[in-house]
Structure 1
Amino acid sequence: MFQRVLCRAPIAAAVLISTSLPLHAETIVVTGVREPLSVERLAADVVVIDADTIRASTADSVADLLRREAGMQLSRNGGPGHSSGVFIRGAFSGQTVVLVDGVRIGSATLGQPSFDAVPLSQIERIEVLRGPGSSLYGADAIGGVVQIFTQRGDAGTQVDAAAAVGGYGSRALSGGVRSRQGAWDLAAGLSHERSDGVSTLRPGDQFGNHNPDRDGYQLDAAHARIGFAPAAGHRIGLTLLRSRQDAQYDASEYLPDFSQDNTPDFRDRLDTELAALDWRGTLRPGLVASLRAQRSVDDSRSGGNSIDVFTTTRRQVGGQLAWASGMLGQLVVALEHSDDRAFATPIGRNVERRTGAAVLALSGDAGIWSWQGELRRDDSSDYGGVSTGRLGGGMRLLPQLKLRALAGTTFRAPSFNDLYFPGYGVETLQPERGRSAELGLVWRSADTEAALTVFRNRVRDLIGYEGDRSFCPPDPAYDFGCARNIRRAQLDGSTLSGLQRLGAWQLKAQLDFLTARDETTGARLSRRAAHQETLSADWTGAAWSAGASVLHLGARPDSGKQLAAETTLDLKAAWTLAAGWTLQARLLNATDRDTEPARDYQGLGRQAWLGLRYEGGL
């Protein structure tokens, strides 16, 4: 696989001008080693999507933004506001950790993160670790880690507000304030999104669930981050977030006479809450400590006349020491304890998982060399002990050119549905385990950035459906099969990306190649395209700006059907009316392409948006 990818790279490089890495030498990230560190010192592949990129993007959600800026593939059960999954390097959504201000979110029963619990309007930046992350963040980081940072108070006082209307009865409102006064800092915001949408399913879907009514959504969210600095080098922080999403969808219920009824008003209602209290302080020069207690709730209620409930409550406490040790670099030691509790109506009872973890990480640089390595041990009440590690380094070949390499081990914990769902779950399931390696080449200069990454990931003990009754528990409930560690996956590929600044112009491109197969059958994994390309051009003038972006997604299999390749074009323009005031226009899917984000589901056609934004100080 590596040989095939390296043969493709020079051909693709000829059509590229630069890379999708919006990073510079002084870009500081947290996700790469759990402590603030310059991206230049990392062997890991970390993508930063900053506030300017988020505000200027034509993306309609966090998941849509990620596939445009981080080279991931997107699957969604309908249009904006509906359940979505992001595949990092071919790993499915349940093999990705999603954090909001360091707090993990998502359902432990369904085994899925909540990508769209936070509106784009409340996000300051997003860091995406592509590749092995279990040695830092524990279970499920087989594909990588997505960390969302909400806004935080700045010097002085800043306010922002935005209102927009769009096709399909869509509208969006948001407002926020950020301030730092003396020892206190504060950021708070509110947002509201709503759309009438289209029917989530196409006529003639395979299960006969199509209902021609419109399936819209509404998302309301509020967040606050409060900080107090009792002394120089110390800060106590409180983070609060609450979002409520209500999305309609097409489905069916079955009447007493076993006839199918697709007319009820089916809805997914997802409430997400998180709270975190933390302290961070400099004990002496080069020694920084932090303590943290956090809680998150993911409450999902789905159905028409009959409602299924899936509720996850996560509590975690932890402490960390970071020591600038001198020649060896920065040493990080962390201890964590988490308690995951869940209730699901199909399971019919409360279930719990307690996990303790210890982390040891080292990163440093000297001359042209840089290095990083981690070890982590997780001990769980239901899947036992798992050790993971990661080792990598970089070498600066030229002032602008860096070679990096990284290898690591990962694992995914069985979801509570995998363990306890009646007639399917098996309590003796073991975690899925992966081994990943990558090689990268990065060029950065004042106006040009380019990168090539080649990766290989092997995942074994994948949890899937076992139809052979002899491998299942003796209970008659398992007469039709059960969950079992039966599959192996091959995830190989490459990413070639670039960015070029030419005066008032900025050009970006990214090419992603992926081989994602079931090693047992040789079949391509569902919903993974063999390639995806993005290209954008942006122009900025004194009062005007404009841009265009193209995304091409290759054909991919899904539940026995081959989904056609798709190419979508988005256009945007903005006009600064006065200091702080900007009029914005967007035309999404400008060519009105018929898209199928998952089998039998349909996305939106052409959609125009017009909005007004204010950002300024008080």
Structure 2
Amino acid sequence: MHGRVGVLLAPGHEAGVQFLHSRLRAQYDSGAGSFDTNNRQDLNSASLHMSNRFLPNWQSTVQLARSEDKLGSFANATASGTSQIDTRQDELTWQNTITLGTDRLQLLAAHRKEAVEASATRALGRERITNSYAAAYALRRARHLFDVSARQDRSDYGARNTGAAGYGYDFGGGLRASASVGTSFRAPTFNELYYPGYGVESNQPERGRNAELGLRYDSSLVQLDATWFRNRLTDMIVTATPCPDQRDGRTGSCAYNVASATLEGVTLAGGTRIGALNLRASLDWQDPQDEGTGKRLARRAGKHANFSAAYRAGSLDLGAEWVLSGERFDDAANLRRLGGYGLLNLYATWRINADFSLLARVNNAADKSYELARNYGSGGRSWFAGLRYGIR
């Protein structure tokens, strides 16, 4: 269940509230001795925001949000008790966008408090507070485009600085080239630290350096993109099977740091319009590698593809998506192979009037059987339908 309400207080000034409630009850065969595993997850989130245009060139948005996640797996459908882990996150953000002629300056300040409230296996009650400050500046001079950004996160891991810089050149005629470099930082989630049988408390933050080169052609009928990327990660957080950390006698999967990893590859994408028919396609080739062993990173495919077609006929929209993925390995040693797969998704939307529309979607329409992790079959054919209402 999801909802959003906004109120226009005055021209350029809006207040609103947004909420989400999701309840998942899933049953599956784990293949590890328990063939009636039940997964339960309750996710709730709510936010309040105030958006103000104080000056013609200054847009300010303040948002206060809370999210709660209760997640657990049980050996049978009748199991009861607390979830295996409950987490809560509160966040206050203030974002400002200032236009300076054709340039744009963005400033951000955020305060985030994360908490582990409960665990089925041991007493927790940990908290983590992160204060963040960020700035980004984008400008264009003739055919040259520049952007630069910087961010600092202050938490239990100290003050961590990241940033990025990019340059683009417009050749004219719809052709543009770009290049960018940047750094990243990601603290392990509380699930990756404390989830029973999965989290490892000694996990370290993930740090990265990335570079990207791109070429884009965009005309009224055709869009083409070619991108080369290289991400080098230190202490990359992955799911390892079996878990290298055996201190708790665990034998299954866990979140774990890969000392050094590289993700390098090429993405090609394109799209065109033929009358009322829109066609799009993307192809990805990458080499996700553990530099310490020279092996491919577990559960990461080297090839991906996506093809889609959307057709509009009056108030009716019809679409199809074909998602393809190459083989991957379930383990870091690359001994347990997981086959590739292809999924067909279909959808339709009927716009009844300006405010109401009916929608329906079928995922995995061919009911393809496949695995993203050994002995954990992914969902088969699924469908949903809904009624969307929005006041213009």
Normalized against structure 2, the TM-score is what?
A: 0.82
Residue in 1 aligned with 2:17? 238
Q: 1:557 Cα shift?
A: 1.0
Match of 2:68 among 297, 316, 319: 297
Per the TM alignment, residue 407 of structure 1 is displaced from its structure 2 partner at its CA by 1.3
Q: Identify which of 78, 89, 99 aligns with 1:314.
A: 89
- The equivalent position to 2:149 in structure 1, one of 368, 374, 386, is 374
Q: Which has the higher contact order (CA 8 A, sep 6+)?
A: 1
Q: Which residue number in structure 2 is paired with residue 552 of structure 1?
A: 324
| 2:129 counterpart letter in structure 1 | R
Separation (CA, whole Å) in 2 of partners of 1:427 and 1:556: 28
Give the 5 Å matches for 1:496-511.
496-511=268-283
Question: 1:565 and 2:337 equivalent?
Answer: no
CA offset at residue 541 of structure 1?
4.1
Given the superposition, is the C-alpha separation of residues 440 and 350 from structure 1 closer, same or farther in structure 2, using an over 3 Å criterion? same
- 1:345 partnered with 2:124: no
Tell me the CA shift for residue 411 of structure 1: 1.3
Q: Which of the numbers 227, 236, 261 marks the counterpart of 1:462? A: 236
- Segment of structure 1 superposing worse, 382-391 or 361-370: 361-370
Question: Partner letter of residue 281 of structure 2?
Answer: A
Pick from 259, 283, 298: which aligns with 2:54? Answer: 283
Aligned residues of 1:292 and 1:317 also touching (Cα < 8 A): yes
For 1:599, the equivalent position in structure 2 comes to 374
Instruction: Give yes or no for the alignment of 1:392 onto 2:143.
Output: no
CA distance in 2, matches of 1:361, 1:515: 31
Q: Deviations over 1:535-585 (max 9, x none)?
A: 234444458765554333211111342122223445667889999787968
Per mean C-alpha deviation after superposition, the further-off stretch among 545-554 and 497-506 is 545-554
Distance in 1 (CA, whole Å) between partners of 2:284 and 2:368 is: 22
Q: Which residue of 2 aligns with 1:358?
A: 133
The DSSP-based 3-state class of the residue aligned with 1:350 is coil
- Determine the structure 2 residue equivalent to 1:332: 106
> Which structure: greater helix fraction?
1
Residue 229 (1) aligns with residue 229 (2): no
CA RMSD, 1 decimal? 3.7
TM-superposed deviation, 1:505: 2.7
One-letter code aligned to 1:297: E
SS at match of 2:273: strand
- State yes or no: 1:494 paired with 2:266: yes
Tell me, yes or no, if the aligned pair for 2:349 and 2:357 is still in contact at 8 Å.
Answer: no
Q: Report deviation, 1:388.
A: 0.5
Rounded to whole Å, the distance in 1 between the matches of 2:386 and 2:13 is 39
> What are the ranges of 5 or more consecutive residues in structure 1 without an aligned counterpart?
1-220, 254-259, 470-476
Contact 1:577 1:583 in 2 (8 A): no
- Structure 1 residues 395 and 341: CA distance shift in structure 2, 3 A: same
Q: In the TM superposition, what whole-angstrom CA distance separates every residue of 1:359-385 from its partner, at most 9, and x where no partner exists?
A: 1111122322222111111110x2222
- From the superposition, tell whether residues 548 and 486 of structure 1 become closer, same or farther in structure 2 (CA, over 3 Å): closer
1:204-247 deviation digits (Å, cap 9, x = unpaired):
xxxxxxxxxxxxxxxxx2x2222222222111121222221111
Per-residue deviation, 1:422: 8.3
Residue-by-residue CA offset, 1:122-170 (whole Å, 9 max, x unaligned): xxxxxxxxxxxxxxxxxxxxxxxxxxxxxxxxxxxxxxxxxxxxxxxxx
C-alpha contact 1:226 1:237 (8 A) present in aligned 2: yes
Distance in 1 between the 2:3 and 2:346 partners?
33
8 Å CA contact 1:535–1:550 kept in 2: the answer is yes
Is 2:179 aligned against 1:405? yes
Separation (CA, whole Å) in 2 of partners of 1:276 and 1:575? 30
If the length of structure 1 is used for normalisation, what is the TM-score?
A: 0.54
1:593 shift after superposition: 4.2
Deviations 1:63-91 (A, max 9, x none): xxxxxxxxxxxxxxxxxxxxxxxxxxxxx
Unaligned 5+ segments in structure 2 are none
Which whole-Å CA distance do the structure 2 matches of 1:314 and 1:599 have between them? Answer: 32
2:28 to 245, 249, 272: 249
Number of residue equivalences:
378
Q: 1:299 to 1:372 in 2, by over 3 A?
A: same
